Structure 1
Amino acid sequence: MQPPRRCLLLLSLLYFVLLPGTWADLEEAFTVRLLQFSTFQNTSSVDTEGLGLLEDIELGSLDKHTRKIRFRQPWVRPALPRSDWDTIENMIKIYLQKFHHLVNEGAVQKDVPYPFVAQCMAGCTIYPNKTSQTFAHVAYNGQDFLSLCVDNATWLPSQDTDLSRYAQAVLQNYTAFTELVEVLFNDTCIDDMERLLLYGKTVLERKKLPVATVFACTPSPAQLLLVCRVTGFYPRSISVAWLRDGQEVPPGPDTNTSAILPNADLTYQLRSVLAVAPHDGHSYACRVRHRSLGTRSLLIPWGNSEVVLIAGLVAGLLAVVAVAAVMVLWLWRRRKHRQMEESTSRNSILSKEA
C-alpha cells in the first residue's frame, strides 16, 4: 500500500495554497498544520477532504466534490495571484487522481479490507528566536502509522506491522520525493509562513482580555473543589495559578489544569481545579496573567459563603448585644433619674407640711 508517498505530495501542494509575510518580531510560536482525510469505501469510491490551520484558525479547506479551495479567512486569498491559485487547484486535482489509484492498488496488493481511512498531517512551527521545527505524520484508520524524521529524511513506523514496513520501504526508496520534502519543510514552509503572518497580522496580533470566575463544588463531604474558569482570551499563551493566603500553590496532586481549548469566536478557554479540605481556615484566590493585561494580573478570590454567613451572624449578634446594652443603660439611667425626681418631690412636700 502506497498512500504515504503521495500523501505528502498533497501537503506540499497545500503549502503553496495555505502558507502564502516577517516573523522577526514574533512574541510566541505559531504552527501551521495541513490535514488530509481520505475515506476509501471500495476500489471505485473515495472521499477526500483537506484543511489548513494556523493554530486553531481555519485558513482554507478543499471542496471534496469540486477540488476547489474554499478560503475561510479574507486575508488568505490575496497572498497569491489568482493565476497561482488556479494552477495549484489543477495540481491538486491531478495529485488526487494518482493518490486514489495508488492507494487502491496497494490495498489490493496487501489485502487491506475496505472501508479504511488514510490521514496525513504535516506542517511547521516557528519560534520567536527564529528557529523552526517541521513535522509529518501518517495515520491509518485513526492509528499512528508513519512519521517523518526531517533531520535525516527517514520514515519511522509507528507500529510494527507488515503494512507499515511495506509503506516505509516504498518511501525510503523514493529518494526524489524525500529530497523534495526536505526542501519544502526546511525552506518553503518558513518562507511562506512569513507572508501568511504578514497578511494575517491584524488577526494574529489582536488581544482579547480573559474573563475569569471562581466557584466551588463538593464531590464528597471531605473534599471541596475550587474551579477557576478562564475564557475569551487571545493569544493562546496564558498563566493561571492558585494562591493560598497570598502564596502560590505549587503544582501537585491537588491541582489540575485542563488543556487550552478553542472557542468558536477564535478565542480560548481553560479550567484550573484546586482540591482543598472544607473549613481549612485558609483564603484562596485564582491569579491570571495574560499578554492582554500587560504587567497587571487578574486576582479572583473565592468567597466562602459559610464563612461569610458565620461572620454576618456574629456581626449581627454583636450589633444586637450592643443595642440591647445601650437600651438597658438608657432605661436604667431614666429610672434612676425618675427615682431622684420622686425623692426630691417627696422631701419638698414634707418640708412644707412641717
Structure 2
Amino acid sequence: MQPPHHCFLCLLFLYLLFLSGTWADLEGTFTIRLLQTSIFQNTSFVDTEGLGLLEDIKLGSLDKHTWTIHFYQPWVHPALPRSDWDTIENMIKIYLQKFNHLINEGAMEKDVSYPFVAQCMGGCKLYPNRTSRAFAYVGYNGQDFLSFDVDNGTWFPSQDTYLSRYVQAVLQNYTAFSELVAVLFNDTCVDDMEMFLRYGKAALERQEAPVATVFARTPRPDQLLLVCRVTGFYPRPISVAWLRDGQEVPPGPALNTSTILPNADLTYQFRSILAVAPGDGHSYACRVSHRSLGTRSLLIPWGNSEMVLIAGLGAGLLAAVAMAAIMMLWVQRRRKHQQMEESESRNSILSKEA
C-alpha cells in the first residue's frame, strides 16, 4: 500500500477550516456521523454506499453510481454555497478512488479472498460547553476491526489478527493522515457542525408527544404479562417505568423492555413488559416521561375487569350526579327569573292604576 496523496488531504483540511457558522441556540449534545460501506466484489468492482447523519436525522446519502450527494432535508443544501458542495463531491470522488485502490492493493498483497466488506464510521460529538470528542472506526466483514485514538493519534486493532496488525501498521505509517484526522475532528468539528445546527434547528427541536396504552396477555394460567406500548414520540430518548402500588418496579427478571424502534413517520415506539401473578392484589401503572411532556408524565393504570367495571360505574354515578346538580341549578334560576318578571309586571300595573 502507498500513502494517500498529500495534496488531496491538504485540500480537505483547508476546505474544512473555512467551514464556520454561528451555533444555534440549542441545548444538549449533538453527534455527526459519516458512514461508508464498500463491498469489494473483486479487484475491478466495488459497490459503495455513504450516509451522513446529524443525530438521527439523515442529512444526505451518496449515489453509488455517480458518487454525488443526494440531500434528504431541504435545509442541508442551503447551509453551504453551491461551490462548496461541488468541492465536497469532488473530494469524495478522489477519496473513494484512492480508498478502493489502496484496499485492493493491500488485499492482493495479503491474499485476502473476495468478496469482502469494508465499513468506516467517523464523526464527532459536540457538547454544550463547545468541547467535542472525535471518533473513527473501521470494520471488516461486519466486525470491529480498527479504532482511532484522536488524543494520541494512534490506531488500535479491535481484534488481534495478522490482517488487523498489518492494516494498523500501514495506517500508523500514514502520519500525515493520522495527524489530519486528529486536527480535523478536534479543531474543526465545532465549525463543521454549527452550520447544520443553525440551519437544522427546527428539525432538531421537533417534539412529538408519546401515546401510551396498557394491555395484558396470558401466556399461561399462572402468569400475566402487562404490556405498556408507547409510540409516536420524538426525539428518541424516553423513560418508561412500571409502578406497583405507587412504587417503581426495579429491574429484574420480571421486567422486559424492547429496544427503541423507528416508525414510518419518523417517530419512535417502545414496549415494556412486566410479568405478574394473576390476582396478586397489587395495583399497577405505566409511567412515561419524555421531553415533549416537560415536567409532566403520562400515568396509565392497569386493572382487571372488575376494577374497570367499578371505575366505569363510579364515573357513571359521578356524571349522573353532576347532571342532576346542573339541572337543579337551572330550574332554580329559571323559577327565580320568572318570579322577578311577574313581580315587575305587577308593579307596572299598580303604577299605571295609580
TM-score, scaled to structure 2: 0.80
Matched residues in 2 for 1:23 and 1:242: separation? 39
Distance 1:3 1:142, change over 3 A: farther
1:208 alignment partner in structure 2: 208
Partners in 1 of 2:200 and 2:266 — Cα distance? 13
Q: Is the 8 A contact 2:58 2:73 kept in 1?
A: yes
Runs (4+) of structure 1 moved beyond 4 Å? 1-6, 19-25, 306-309
- Compare 92-101 and 76-85 and name the one that shifted more: 92-101
Q: Does 1:189 align with 2:195?
A: no
Paired-residue identity, %: 79
**Counterpart AA for 2:47:** D
Aligned position for 2:134: 134
Comparing 290-299 with 106-115, greater Cα deviation is found at 290-299
User: How many angstroms apart in 1 are the aligned matches of 2:30 and 2:4?
Assistant: 26
Q: C-alpha distance in 2, partners of 1:86/1:30?
A: 26
Tell me the alpha carbon deviations over residues 176-199 of structure 1, each in whole angstroms, 9 at most, x when there is no partner: 111100111112222211111111
| SS of alignment partner, residue 184 of structure 1 | helix
Alpha-carbon shift at residue 209 of structure 1 (Å):
0.7
Cα distance change of structure 1 residues 234 and 2 upon mapping to structure 2, 3 Å threshold: farther
Residue 254 of structure 2 corresponds to which residue in structure 1?
Answer: 254
1:283 counterpart = 2:279: no
Pair 1:244–1:129, CA change in 2 (3 A): farther
Change (3 A) 1:137 1:295: same
Aligned amino acid, residue 115 of structure 2: P
* Residues 245/289 of structure 1: CA separation in 2 closer, same or farther (3 Å cut): same
Q: Which 10-residue stretch deviates more, 126-135 or 179-188?
A: 126-135
Q: Which residue of 1 aligns with 2:144?
A: 144
| Distance in 2, Cα, partners of 1:126 & 1:305 | 51
* Change beyond 3 A, Cα 1:51–1:244: same
2: CA distance between counterparts of 1:4 and 1:230?
Answer: 49
2:110 is the counterpart of 1:101:
no
SS in 1 for 2:159: coil
SS in 2 for 1:94: helix
Looking at structure 1, the residues matched to 284 and 38 of structure 2 have their Cα atoms a distance apart, in angstroms, of: 50
1:229-269: CA deviation from partner (whole Å, max 9, x where unpaired) = 11111122221111111222122222222222222222222
CA distance in 1, matches of 2:5, 2:255: 44
Q: CA shift at 1:272, angstroms? A: 1.2
Distance 1:195 1:260, change over 3 A: same
- What is the match of residue 319 of structure 2? none
TM-score (norm 1): 0.80
How many residues are matched? 307
Larger-gyration structure (1/2): 1
Say which SS state the counterpart of residue 188 (structure 2) adopts.
helix
Q: Deviations over 1:266-308 (max 9, x none)?
A: 2222111111111101111101111211222111111322654
Distance 1:20 1:67, change over 3 A: farther
What is the alpha-carbon distance in structure 1 between the residues aligned to residue 278 and residue 128 of structure 2? Answer: 44
The secondary structure found in structure 2 opposite 1:38 is strand
CA shift for structure 1 position 21: 4.9
SS at match of 1:155: strand
Q: Distance in 2 between matches of 1:283 and 1:5?
A: 68
The 5 A counterparts of 1:1-354 are: 21-23=21-23, 25-305=25-305, 307-308=307-308
Q: Specify the SS of the correspondent of 1:181.
A: helix
Higher mean alpha-carbon deviation, 24-33 vs 165-174, is at: 24-33
